[in-house]
Structure 1
Amino acid sequence: MTSEFSALLKRLRREAKMTQEALAERAGVGVRTIRGLETGERADPRVTTVRLLADALGLSPEDRERLLAAAVHRTVDDGPSDDATPHPGPATGGPPGSALHETLADVAEQVAQTVAARWQREEEQRQVHDPYPLPVRWRPVAEELTDHWANIRRLPAGGTHGPLDLSGQLDEIVDVYRRLPSGRLVVLGRSGSGKSILAVRFVLDHLKSRGRADAVPVIFSIGSWDPTAITLRDWLAAQLTRDQPGLAASGPGGSSLAAALVETGRILPVLDGFDEIADGLRRPALEALNATTLPLLLTSRPSEYAAAVAETDVLTSAAAVELTDLGLADLADYLPRTTRKARGGGRRSATAWDPVLNELRERPGSRAAANLAAVLTTPLMVTLARAVYSDTPDHDPAALLDTRRFRTPEELEDHLLDNFTATVYRPRPGHHPGSGSRRTFDPERAQYWLGYLAHHLTRLDTPDLEWWRLGHGLRRVPRTLVTSLVICVAIGLVDGVVGTLFDSFAFQLADGLVAGLLGGLLFGIAYWFMVAAKDTAVEPSGVRMKIFGRERRSGRSPLRRLAIGVLCGLVFGIGYGFVRGVVNGLWYHVSIPLVLAGSLGDGLIYGVMFALAAGPTFGLLTLFETPLDIRSAVNPVGLLRTNGRTVATQLLLWAPTFGILVGFGSVLAIQPMAALLGPVVWNVTAALKLGVISGLGGALGYLFSLTSWGQWTVFSRIWLPLTGRLPWSVVTFLEDAYQRGVLRQAGAVYQFRHARLQHHLARAYRSPRPHQPAEGGAGDP
């Protein structure tokens, strides 16, 4: 008997004029699967399979949602599958008024509020409205960079129509976007032309007029996307979860809330920085974008987008515009209003910018005026000039006309970029260290640390400064060695300090050294295989620990975690016991055969003890995990603190639980082992000592190697400051850089204020050169 899903799938396939065989080949599924779904023989359509079919059919957002909703309803109506667990994959909203629809609508509303608050703060921080937003205008681009207007207008076969009028300025961007039936717009502009400003304004204006059923515009820095490793929809869901960990909670249909929002069209992606995608990945990125029907707004520099189009095709159904340069009239209106009035200036008070503007008006053909006019054509350069000269009264902008210092426009741009960081870190008159809330950093040291961060991002080919990836400035082997070294010291200190309560100082000193080396080695090996070898990072936790009170569970299976804990404890214990037995045997000059026999016995004993302790401990931790609130941790420091609290609670549970289980487990394990291995010397004191050291040492080893907060501590709080790459107070430095306008916040990560500034600082870090201060007067024009 066919169902609503079966009939809908068959109808959509026929409308696409595809056979079952053609659909199977394009979707990458079996013909028998499609035949079974259409006839109703298969009563459990997996949502992941339905997504593949929807992509292969090229469905519109409305048809895609209907197909996914029918699949979810069928799964619910037909009862649970054989394994009694929901199939993985995104949920859908269902028809208006349904529980599914209302749940996702509520979540989308919370996301909208968070996004609006985030970017309103960012506009204030960047002084966009002080005194007013710089003009951002655009013009149509060449026809070869846009799709056919019939496709943009979503016309039926045979329909023809001319182009739409897409001209406008900053406060009209939402109206221009809504003229496009396809909902796809490409915004091109050279470096610093205002693409990011336009993206932020688009989001805020769109949210002001957004209805409850409308999609939520969210800015994604697309430069960090690798289309060969992850699909667009999965990447969007991952980015949402990163910025709002509460969206990792299970949603309708078993998927995460983030994935459900993306799949049901409740997120309008604003993909900022297509040009920041790595060179070899732009073509597959554009092909991946064309494989979806998602409405979106994409920004890029013109040359990178044109090159990708030449290699493959335009963005399907997308119109495109290009941002235009600022003119002299824009500068004359804006720059004088950014600085203080000169004394005795009469009815129209003169400003420091007047001589410069007069030179541009009256002698446009002079070398000085031509160079400066070529530079001050983008909002970025005008903003830098304002920061260096308007916001610093003792800097005279007439210095920009000195052709002996600045012979080319490029030298002027480098001067503004160089002096931006020096200016914002310059101590203000009357300010004394410690007299206010803002920390004082030496300008040269600050520029060096910022250069390291910029170099770090350039190496990783990403604009996102993620605190949990700061250790990736080191290559995989050094990163593993540093992690092992910190764990070695931590476990050695725990063993040495705790052990002195039970044994002599001299013995415990040697024992602590051995325990530290073994712990560092084994946790280092675990870190290598689980993290470093894959060249990944330990991601921040998306849960919090709730010991008291009953709340939603995190969705993780305690039994699965118990099994993983038993396996890891067994492997770790066997390795620890065997190596420790070998070291002790060689230390006491025991014969090799006896050393090997005793080491195998020790390995077996420790393996059983640690397995019996680690399994229940991991399973118990799962019972106390609950999803984070959807609105939690929407900035880098918030996410760091939230993860710090989660890790602290985990360790408070882990250390005593694991320690007690190891202590009691050792007593239980020794008795049967004694019958198998012969007499074993063990008593309550030895069990207590092992339990305390194992609980504390194991907790620290897990903390530093397998949690994001622990990795932050190892590299950002210890190693990088110790080697001079970053200051000791990294959080204070990053927040201070954000307050000064060098960095911006994009959800849970920092980014440099502009990609041009990042690349300039990275280049300066790699090849330092003399700094030219901003002070000085005009020279020969």
Structure 2
Amino acid sequence: MRGRWTVAWALCAAVTGGLLWGWPLRDPERISAAAAVVSAVVALFGVASAWAWRAGRGRRRADGAQVADAAEALARTVRRQWEEEAILRQLYGPEPLPLLWSDCACPGVSDRRQTVGTEVVCRADEPLALTEAFGSLAHRRLVVLGTAGSGKTAFAVLLVLALLRGRTADDPVPVLFSLSSFDPDRESAGNWLRRRIAADYPAMGDTEQYGAGVIDDLLTEHRLVPVLDGLDELPERSRAAALASLDGTLPADAPLVLTCRTDDYADAVRQSGFLTGAAVVEPAPVRTEDALAFLSRAMPPGSRQDGWATVAERLAREPGAPAAQALRSPLMVALARSVYAGTADEGDEGRDPAELVDAERFPTPAAVERHLLDALVPSLYERARRQDPARGWDPRQARDYLIRLAAGLHARDDYDLAWWQLHRWIPALAGPWRRAAVLASLGCAEFLLLTVFLVAVLDAPSRAEALRWFPQSVLESFALPPMLALSGLVTRRNRTLPRAAALAAAVALAGGLALPPSSWYYYRDASASTLLASIGFFCFAVWLVLLGVGLPTPPRTPSRGRPAPRHWRGQLVRALILVISVTAISETVFAGYAMAGYGSVLPPGSMPWGALIGAVAGIGLAALDWVRAPATGAEVATPASSVRADRLISLISAGACAVVFVLPEAVFRAVPWVPSDPLRTTMFSAVVGLFHGAVWGSFLALAAHSWPYYTAARLLLAARGELPWRLQAFLANAHRLGILRQVGPVYQFRHARLRDHLATRPASS
């Protein structure tokens, strides 16, 4: 609170001192302008004080009732999310695979027995026993180990659902996260958890409903059980650091569940030490008779059950056969269920499970596993296409798309298919300088289209005069590369308002330094003060846009929220404060120009113009704040919903920032001193300013959001034939078929083995 009051005082003092220092006030007109500046600064201090007071109120910690309400809302959302995911992953139907979990026999990976608590022995298909085993731990800390495909993720999902089903009002809420996005070199485990909760469950950011800092309260009061899946999915160099961050950042008595492959966890423990107070469990191999009984019950009546009966008879005689060894893995059991789920009347030729015991075709367990991994995608898509020929994807084409997706993720050593990072797959959009060059070229193309529009639609006086407009626009587009590149070099996106304003000013100034050639070209007959005024107005307009949408670079996370009438009183107060603040700043800028001697290059009555521009710009920025309102408590972030939210905010931001940018530009162009040649008539200059500012404002706004980059990358990859045109529909369909799994707003392959296997397969085209 004290810091915001300091910022308010410093801002007002800087504006007053900067405008009044060194300027003679003997001229009565300058005295009146100075009075206007002082009054504007007083108004600015008033709104800044209101901002500081309002911010201080908004930062008040949530009370106990709000924290409890947030925990209840989060529990309902998490349960609904993972119930749906468990159904898609077929973890319950017809019943879970019986798998026994017990204390890990690997030495040196767990804490002392007296610290951990009782011995853990449980089965994932028994929810009550699962919750009792977890509740018996002294610190409710558990590490789940196992080999690849041993069912660690399924155990984590079933544990989350079991804890939620038996949860009382005072019990903590289990929340499942994928660890693949954690970078211990850039942030601590606590900060990463806060960021993931805010991104995956946007409703927790509703400060009106749950108070400020509710995520911190949920963590510090141990009202959450973070279930962190996939320590082994981190790069090898980061696993030990991540384990050390989890053990050193989170309190030793904070509940926690962690999954990892056994060998990778043992290596991390040797480098950083074990997780304090955590029990460590691993599964026993699946018994052959249990696997075959599970597969037989999962099959519809018909020839498939006869095939599994043949497999059972053969493996009973040969318990060491390759198929028996392969089916000891829960992953292979799940794959076999998906591959051989069809019935004979569906015409599923060549999918008889009896083929698994053919020693000539499958002489080793690895051969059986490769066969199941190869057959999974064609089997699922062929079955889906028979059920719905009109909507089904071609199996061969779908396999090619999945191979390219897997190869792209494997090449980047990534497990998360995050749509807002798809532009990194395009070399021209990956680096900040290359991206700046590409976007500047697109800006020139936009200005060329605008020139054609002005000539063809608005009937510019002559082609030669219109060609004077296009070179000016090209010269002005050279301001884009330094702005975009400087923004791309800044990695931290979460900044306070004063730091964001200062950074936006630096970026706007970097763009303004590239404007003298453009200003001289368009205002070649004007004085030096006119050139400086044009650059200053450009920087002011850019600063307003950047203050509203952020830096023009791909954000680390997509925008979220949607227009909603919830808590309209608080939103209205914030909107009024923002409008009054921007109006006061705009009026101060116009008055400052008048005091600096630029009054002759401004329209008559510049102070009313400043108020009008500031009011309209403030309304546009308030609209952006409105559309970023948190989602409702019943929503959870999904890939499709996050794409829609970011697309909506991107388009609204583009429209609002077009208006925010266009007013200073149009007003400055439509001034009386403009030479009287046909191209630069007052009306035509105003129209040119409107279109010119709209292009600049919308371009900068779109460059600050994820959806435009995703759309450009998606269309380019689709044009190459590497991905489908309807990418989100394809991914959602693959998720419904069980090829992909959904973790918050990202997709993952159902298992790392499947991703790695597909990445090595050649595409058919």
Q: TM-score range by the shorter chain?
A: 0.7 to 0.9
Residue in 1 aligned with 2:342?
Answer: 391
Report the CA distance between 1:351 and its aligned residue: 2.4
Secondary structure of 1:650 counterpart: helix
Report the CA distance between 1:352 and its aligned residue: 2.2
Matched, 1:147 2:111: yes
**Over residues 5-41 of structure 1, what are the superposed CA-to-partner deviations in whole Å (9 max), with x where a residue is unaligned?**
xxxxxxxxxxxxxxxxxxxxxxxxxxxxxxxxxxxxx
Distance 1:331 1:103, change over 3 A: same
Equivalent-residue separation in structure 1 for 2:500 and 2:685 (angstroms) = 26
Report the CA distance between 1:726 and its aligned residue: 1.3
Report the CA distance between 1:315 and its aligned residue: 0.9
Matched, 1:628 2:635: no
Distance 1:297 1:633, change over 3 A: closer
Report the CA distance between 1:487 and its aligned residue: 4.2
Secondary structure of 2:514 counterpart: helix
Matched, 1:126 2:80: no
Code of the residue aligned with 1:258 in structure 2: it is I
Report the CA distance between 1:332 and its aligned residue: 2.5
Equivalent-residue separation in structure 2 for 1:300 and 1:473 (angstroms) = 28
Matches within 5 A, 1:19-30: none
Secondary structure of 1:751 counterpart: strand
Asked whether the 8 Å contact 2:381–2:394 carries over to 1, the reply is yes
Residue in 2 aligned with 1:233?
Answer: 190
Identity rate of aligned residues, in percent?
Answer: 29
Equivalent-residue separation in structure 2 for 1:131 and 1:137 (angstroms) = 18
Secondary structure of 1:352 counterpart: helix
Asked whether the 8 Å contact 2:659–2:697 carries over to 1, the reply is no
Code of the residue aligned with 1:148 in structure 2: it is R
Matched, 1:724 2:721: yes
Unaligned 5+ runs, structure 2: 4-48, 549-581, 583-617
After the TM superposition, which of the residue ranges 486-495 and 748-757 deviates more from structure 2? 486-495
Matches within 5 A, 1:618-767: 618=548, 620=618, 621-624=620-623, 625-626=625-626, 627-631=629-633, 632-667=635-670, 682-716=680-714, 718-764=715-761
Code of the residue aligned with 1:503 in structure 2: it is A
Code of the residue aligned with 2:758 in structure 1: it is L
Distance 1:139 1:706, change over 3 A: same
Code of the residue aligned with 1:376 in structure 2: it is L
Report the CA distance between 1:736 and its aligned residue: 1.3
Secondary structure of 2:760 counterpart: helix
Asked whether the 8 Å contact 1:273–1:300 carries over to 2, the reply is yes
Equivalent-residue separation in structure 2 for 1:227 and 1:91 (angstroms) = 30
Equivalent-residue separation in structure 1 for 2:180 and 2:169 (angstroms) = 30
Residue in 2 aligned with 1:417?
Answer: 373
Distance 1:571 1:312, change over 3 A: closer
Task: Determine which of 557, 571, 575 is the counterpart of 2:514.
Answer: 575
After the TM superposition, which of the residue ranges 219-228 and 135-144 deviates more from structure 2? 135-144
Residue in 2 aligned with 1:450?
Answer: 402
Report the CA distance between 1:769 and its aligned residue: 7.7
Equivalent-residue separation in structure 1 for 2:515 and 2:678 (angstroms) = 18
Equivalent-residue separation in structure 2 for 1:271 and 1:119 (angstroms) = 14
Residue in 2 aligned with 1:359?
Answer: 314
Asked whether the 8 Å contact 1:120–1:204 carries over to 2, the reply is yes
Secondary structure of 1:170 counterpart: coil
**Over residues 31-65 of structure 1, what are the superposed CA-to-partner deviations in whole Å (9 max), with x where a residue is unaligned?**
xxxxxxxxxxxx99xxxxxxxxxxxxxxxxxxxxx
Distance 1:342 1:432, change over 3 A: closer
Matched, 1:374 2:334: no
Asked whether the 8 Å contact 1:186–1:319 carries over to 2, the reply is yes
Residue in 2 aligned with 1:207?
Answer: 164
After the TM superposition, which of the residue ranges 731-740 and 508-517 deviates more from structure 2? 508-517
**Over residues 56-113 of structure 1, what are the superposed CA-to-partner deviations in whole Å (9 max), with x where a residue is unaligned?**
xxxxxxxxxxxxxxxxxxxxxxxx9x98687999986xxxxxx611112111211111
Higher helix content, 1 or 2: 2
Equivalent-residue separation in structure 1 for 2:485 and 2:506 (angstroms) = 17
Report the CA distance between 1:130 and its aligned residue: 1.9
Code of the residue aligned with 1:312 in structure 2: it is S
Question: What TM-score results when the alignment is normalised by the length of structure 1?
Answer: 0.72
Report the CA distance between 1:458 and its aligned residue: 2.9
**Over residues 179-205 of structure 1, what are the superposed CA-to-partner deviations in whole Å (9 max), with x where a residue is unaligned?**
011111111111111111111111111
Code of the residue aligned with 2:226 in structure 1: it is P
Equivalent-residue separation in structure 2 for 1:707 and 1:719 (angstroms) = 18
**Over residues 376-397 of structure 1, what are the superposed CA-to-partner deviations in whole Å (9 max), with x where a residue is unaligned?**
1122111111111223642111
Report the CA distance between 1:282 and its aligned residue: 1.0
Report the CA distance between 1:177 and its aligned residue: 0.9
Equivalent-residue separation in structure 1 for 2:216 and 2:201 (angstroms) = 13
Distance 1:328 1:560, change over 3 A: closer
Residue in 1 aligned with 2:486?
Answer: 529
Equivalent-residue separation in structure 1 for 2:177 and 2:373 (angstroms) = 25
Equivalent-residue separation in structure 2 for 1:599 and 1:376 (angstroms) = 84
Equivalent-residue separation in structure 1 for 2:396 and 2:527 (angstroms) = 56
Equivalent-residue separation in structure 1 for 2:202 and 2:238 (angstroms) = 28
Secondary structure of 1:144 counterpart: coil
Q: How many residues are aligned here?
A: 628
After the TM superposition, which of the residue ranges 424-433 and 233-242 deviates more from structure 2? 424-433
Equivalent-residue separation in structure 1 for 2:182 and 2:72 (angstroms) = 26
Distance 1:148 1:707, change over 3 A: same
After the TM superposition, which of the residue ranges 212-221 and 270-279 deviates more from structure 2? 212-221
**Over residues 636-656 of structure 1, what are the superposed CA-to-partner deviations in whole Å (9 max), with x where a residue is unaligned?**
111111222222222232223
Equivalent-residue separation in structure 2 for 1:236 and 1:680 (angstroms) = 61
Distance 1:389 1:512, change over 3 A: farther
Residue in 2 aligned with 1:604?
Answer: 532
Asked whether the 8 Å contact 2:403–2:763 carries over to 1, the reply is no
Matched, 1:336 2:296: yes
Asked whether the 8 Å contact 1:342–1:352 carries over to 2, the reply is no
**Over residues 421-446 of structure 1, what are the superposed CA-to-partner deviations in whole Å (9 max), with x where a residue is unaligned?**
12222265755653xxxx33232322
Equivalent-residue separation in structure 1 for 2:530 and 2:397 (angstroms) = 52
Equivalent-residue separation in structure 2 for 1:373 and 1:520 (angstroms) = 66
Equivalent-residue separation in structure 2 for 1:445 and 1:359 (angstroms) = 36
Matches within 5 A, 1:481-630: 481-500=437-456, 501-503=458-460, 506-507=463-464, 514=471, 522-531=479-488, 533=489, 557=497, 568-576=507-515, 578-579=517-518, 604-616=532-544, 618=548, 620=618, 621-624=620-623, 625-626=625-626, 627-630=629-632
Residue in 2 aligned with 1:17?
Answer: none
Equivalent-residue separation in structure 2 for 1:197 and 1:359 (angstroms) = 29
Question: What TM-score results when the alignment is normalised by the length of structure 2?
Answer: 0.74
Code of the residue aligned with 1:572 in structure 2: it is G
Report the CA distance between 1:742 and its aligned residue: 1.1
Residue in 1 aligned with 2:154?
Answer: 197
Distance 1:696 1:606, change over 3 A: same
Secondary structure of 2:185 counterpart: coil
Equivalent-residue separation in structure 2 for 1:715 and 1:359 (angstroms) = 51
Equivalent-residue separation in structure 2 for 1:90 and 1:391 (angstroms) = 57
Distance 1:520 1:117, change over 3 A: farther
Code of the residue aligned with 2:717 in structure 1: it is L
Matched, 1:267 2:270: no
**Over residues 245-285 of structure 1, what are the superposed CA-to-partner deviations in whole Å (9 max), with x where a residue is unaligned?**
33345589995443443233222100101111110011111
Secondary structure of 2:306 counterpart: coil
Equivalent-residue separation in structure 1 for 2:289 and 2:462 (angstroms) = 80
Code of the residue aligned with 1:648 in structure 2: it is L
Matches within 5 A, 1:181-192: 181-192=138-149
Asked whether the 8 Å contact 2:198–2:204 carries over to 1, the reply is yes
What is the Cα-based RMSD across aligned positions, in Å? 3.8
Unaligned 5+ runs, structure 1: 1-42, 45-79, 93-98, 154-162, 344-348, 540-554, 586-593, 772-781
Report the CA distance between 1:562 and its aligned residue: 6.5
Equivalent-residue separation in structure 1 for 2:381 and 2:400 (angstroms) = 12
